[in-house]
Amino acid sequence: MPLDHDEVEAFRRAREGVLARIAEAARRAGRDQGEVTLVAVSKTVAAVRVRAAVAAGLTVLGENRVQEAAAKILEVPGARWHLLGPLQANKARRAVELFDVLEAVGSLELAQRLDRVAGELRPGRPLPVLLQVNVAGDPSKSGFDEPGVEAALPQLASLAGLRLDGLMTIGRLVPTAEEARPTFRALRELSARLRASEPRLGPALSMGMSDDYEVAVEEGATIVRVGRALFGERPRPAGTDPAG
């Protein structure tokens, strides 16, 4: 199906708007906007629209579910793909085959399984991952708690099949963006503390979504996950973590 040029232009304007707000937030924090990667969260968006988004320059895409992404990735060339949602162990192999980055590695057991699979499927090319940390202590969210990630980090860093690019978090749903700031600051401070003792952990911080990504950038985000501000409103299935 040919691209809808009006839709491509609409995505281009949306992208420029989000990037402008990232740039302004970076300026307020004394940062370079080039330090921040925009991940366009394309979950539930039809492949034809995602192709238009890629044509408009949204070339880093995020998906929550392996099964949905498997079909979409085949239909949408020219993009890099991040897995944002929790990953079931039985889908680890397929996730390693499909995605460029896994953002939600939230347990040592999952990391060890991914390490084994990555060693088989991509020997000599460690798989980029982010460790998901539930810094807000939200019982509805998955991931390591702070003591847990600190205790597991030496073992995680020793997994030759994985490259620990940094940390990610999904904060509580709060009424205002400013109320999300303590969560983002906590992840940044945790990253600094962990990297002081384990230099194999990278500096990436994936935090911030459509409602609060500017505050996240002010607090040091290097990856923001934006869906609704780019693709519009979409229904969110009950019981799932939001990602954008």
The pLDDT tens digits of the residues spanning 11-35 come to 999 999 999 999 999 999 999 999 9
Residue 61 in domain: yes
Residue 154 within any structural domain of the chain: yes
User: Which pLDDT does position 138 carry in this prediction?
Assistant: 87
What is the per-residue pLDDT across 209-222, written as a single tens digit (0 to 9) for each? 999 999 999 999 99
pTM of the predicted protein model = 0.94
- Taking phi over 0 as left and psi of -120 to 50 as alpha, with beta for the rest, 57 belongs to left
> Is 244 inside a domain boundary?
no
Is 243 contained in some domain? no
Q: Say how far apart CA 39 and CA 115 lie, in whole Å.
A: 24
209 is a domain residue: yes
pLDDT recorded at residue 236: 56
Angle between helix 146-157 and 181-197 (nearest 10): 40
Residue 206: per-residue pLDDT: 98
CATH number for the domain spanning 191: value is 3.20.20.10
Q: What is the pLDDT of residue 173?
A: 86
Tell whether 51 is covered by a domain. Answer: yes
Q: What is the dihedral of CA 60, 66, 67, 68, to 10 degrees?
A: -30
pLDDT for position 172: 81
Least confident of 73-87, 174-188, 226-240: 226-240
Percent of the chain with pLDDT over 90: 89
The answer as to whether 98 is a domain residue is yes
Instruction: Supply the range of the domain harboring residue 180.
Output: 5-28+36-231
pLDDT digits (tens, 9 = 90+) for 30-71: 999 999 999 999 999 999 999 999 999 999 999 999 999 999
Is residue 234 scored above 80 in pLDDT?
no
At 240 the pLDDT is 47
For the chain, how big is the Rg over CA atoms in Å?
Answer: 17
Structure tokens at 208: 């911030």
CA distance 121 to 138: 35
Whether the predicted pLDDT of 239 surpasses 50: no
pLDDT band for position 207 (cuts 50, 70, 90): very high
Q: How far apart are CA 182 and CA 35, in angstroms?
A: 21
In the chain, how many domains are there?
Answer: 1
240 in any annotated domain: no
Residue range 89-146, pLDDT digits in tens: 999 999 999 999 999 999 999 999 999 999 999 999 999 999 999 999 888 889 999 9
Using the predicted structure, report yes or no on whether residue 200 has a pLDDT greater than 60.
Answer: yes
